[in-house]
Amino acid sequence: KRPVVGGFLLLRLQQQQQSSTSFPGSTSLARSRNSDSIWFAVMLFKGALSAALALAAVPTVRGDDDDAGVIRLSLSKRPNHEMVSEHLARERDALVAILEGKERETEQGKGKKVIIAEEVATQRRRRLRGEENEEEEEMISHDLEDGKDENVIIKDYANAQYYGTVHIGSPPQEFTAIWDTGSADLWMPQKGCTHCGYCNPLTKNTSLCKDKYDSSKSDDYEEDGADFEIQYGSGSVKGVFSKDTVTLAQDIAVHHQRFAEVSDAGGMGVGYVMGKFDGILGLAFDTIAIGKTTVFGGAIEQGLVKDPVFAFYLGDEGDGELTLGGYDETKFEGDDLKYVNLDKATYWQIKLDGISLGDAYSTDSTTAIVDSGTSLLTGPSAEIAKIALAVGAKPNVVGEYTVDCKDVDSIPDIHFTIDGVEYSLAGSDLVIQASNVCLFAMMGMDIPAPGPQWILGDVFMRRWYTVFDMGEERIGFAKAVKQQ
CA distance 190 to 216: 11
Among 284, 226, 233, smallest CA distance to 260 is for 226
**Of 432, 396, 435, nearest in space to 90 by CA:** 396
Rounded distance between C-alpha atoms, residue 428 and residue 449, angstroms? 31
Among the listed residues 156, 371, 446, 458, the single catalytic one is 371
Q: Which residues, in sequence order, are CB contacts of 381 under 8 Å at separation 6+?
A: 399, 444, 445, 446
Contact 345, 129 (CB under 8 A): no
Burial class (CB in 10 A: 0-12, 13-18, 19+), 106: exposed
264 flagged as catalytic: no
User: DSSP H helical segments within 351-483, as ranges?
Assistant: 381-391, 458-463
Helix, coil or strand: residue 203: coil
* Contact (Cβ atoms closer than 8 angstroms) between residue 191 and residue 103: no
Nearest to 47 by CA among 97, 11, 82, 98: 82
What is the distance of C-alpha 359 from the center of its chain? Answer: 32
What does the angle CA 285 – CA 323 – CA 17 come to, to the nearest 5 degrees? 105
The residues facing 247 across adjacent strands are 167, 253
- Identify whether 214 is a catalytic site residue: no
Q: Could you please report the per-residue DSSP string of 300-345? A: HHTT-SSSSEEEEE--SSS-EEEEESS--GGGBSSS-PEEEE-SEE
Backbone angles phi, psi at 92, to 5 degrees: -60, -50
| CA distance readout (Å), 342 to 81, 179, 290 | 35, 20, 21
Q: Which residues are known to be catalytic?
A: 180, 371
